């Protein structure tokens, strides 16, 4: 009896979806927005046809992941479905350690664009830089590739080699072979020179705020009994990272002012994030360095310091990513990365 009910349920969904597809086709799609219930039935119909009739056998898992990839990547360049394997890689990266060639990338006009090459990583050592377009990986064209697949192809076992064809501006494309390695990301590098503290923020991982505070403390000690003349904060080629770490970093230099405002789906609901009391470097002069590889969290920090005239910004135009993504873990071990707000 249970089997009969199951067969009947499948048949009902199939027939309902078939009926809906006919109605949708006949309507000429005058109203392209459909209910979630109708969309689910239509998906079930298409997935069933593909599963049963596609020329090669294909699993339901692969169909589902492909659907999720398509759904999320169609929203904007930063929303994505993360498979369990990819989600594990993302967590490793935010923790400051992963295997690859050390490039921050996006997909632009169908090709892989380098946002920044991480310091001392294989990609930077091979000469890759902000703005380079990767047009082939291991002799295969990448046009139309997703962000997720691009990252997957660039990463691999330490010691393995990836062959790239790169286009830079109007120059002829060139080939480069890069050996993958473990990327150990130290978020902060610092030194003091001529009584000026220099702090390089490589990216915004889990410990960036903590490491910045420690670096400033050490610089203050090194300059004692006098104070440093000022600080230089270098955000060049820093493609961003964790949003909360950007807030921590900006808070170090600001005193009870707005760091950033977040606007979600409802424009009238604006969430303002304020700096706490106190300026860690006691209002000493501050210069921030940026370039085209400075994105996301870097832009939040530089923008906040510029808006409140707390720092002089030096460099070239930044990348221009003004959105916030939430990563939502799923029961299968994967996650969805969804743009949920814009920052101002």
Catalytic residues: 296, 307, 321
Residue among 47, 30, 27, 50 at smallest CA distance from 39: 47
Cα gap 56→161, rounded to integer Å: 31
């Amino acid at each position: 009896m249970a089997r009969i009910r199951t067969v009947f349920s499948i048949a009902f969904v199939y027939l309902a979806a078939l009926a809906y597809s006919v109605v949708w086709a006949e309507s000429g799609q005058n109203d392209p927005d459909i209910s979630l219930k109708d969309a689910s039935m239509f998906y079930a119909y298409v997935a069933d046809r593909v599963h049963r009739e596609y020329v090669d056998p294909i699993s339901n898992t692969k169909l589902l992941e492909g659907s999720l990839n398509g759904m999320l990547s169609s929203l904007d360049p930063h929303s994505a479905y993360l498979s369990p394997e990819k989600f594990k890689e993302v967590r490793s990266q935010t923790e400051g350690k992963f295997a690859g060639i050390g490039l921050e990338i996006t997909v632009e006009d169908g090709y892989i664009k380098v946002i920044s090459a991480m310091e001392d990583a294989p990609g930077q050592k091979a000469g890759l830089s902000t703005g380079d377009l990767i047009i082939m990986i291991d002799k295969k064209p990448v046009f139309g590739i997703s962000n997720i697949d691009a990252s997957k192809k660039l990463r691999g076992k330490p010691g393995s080699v990836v062959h790239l064809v790169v286009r830079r501006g109007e120059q002829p494309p060139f080939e480069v072979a890069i050996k993958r390695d473990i990327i150990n990301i130290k978020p902060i590098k610092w030194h003091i020179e001529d009584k000026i503290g220099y702090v390089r923020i490589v990216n915004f991982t889990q410990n960036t705020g903590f490491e910045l505070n420690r670096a400033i403390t050490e610089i203050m000690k090194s300059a004692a009994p006098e104070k440093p003349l000022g600080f230089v904060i270098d955000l060049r080629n820093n493609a961003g990272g964790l949003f909360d770490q950007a807030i921590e970093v900006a808070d170090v230099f600001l005193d009870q002012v707005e760091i950033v405002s977040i606007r979600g789906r409802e424009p009238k609901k604006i969430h303002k994030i304020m700096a706490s009391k106190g300026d860690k470097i006691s209002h000493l002069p501050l210069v921030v360095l940026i370039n085209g590889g400075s994105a996301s969290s870097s832009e939040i920090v530089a923008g906040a310091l510029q808006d409140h005239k707390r720092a002089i910004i030096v460099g070239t135009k930044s990348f221009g990513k003004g959105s916030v993504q939430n990563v939502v873990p799923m029961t299968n071990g994967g996650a969805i990365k969804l743009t949920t707000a814009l920052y101002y």
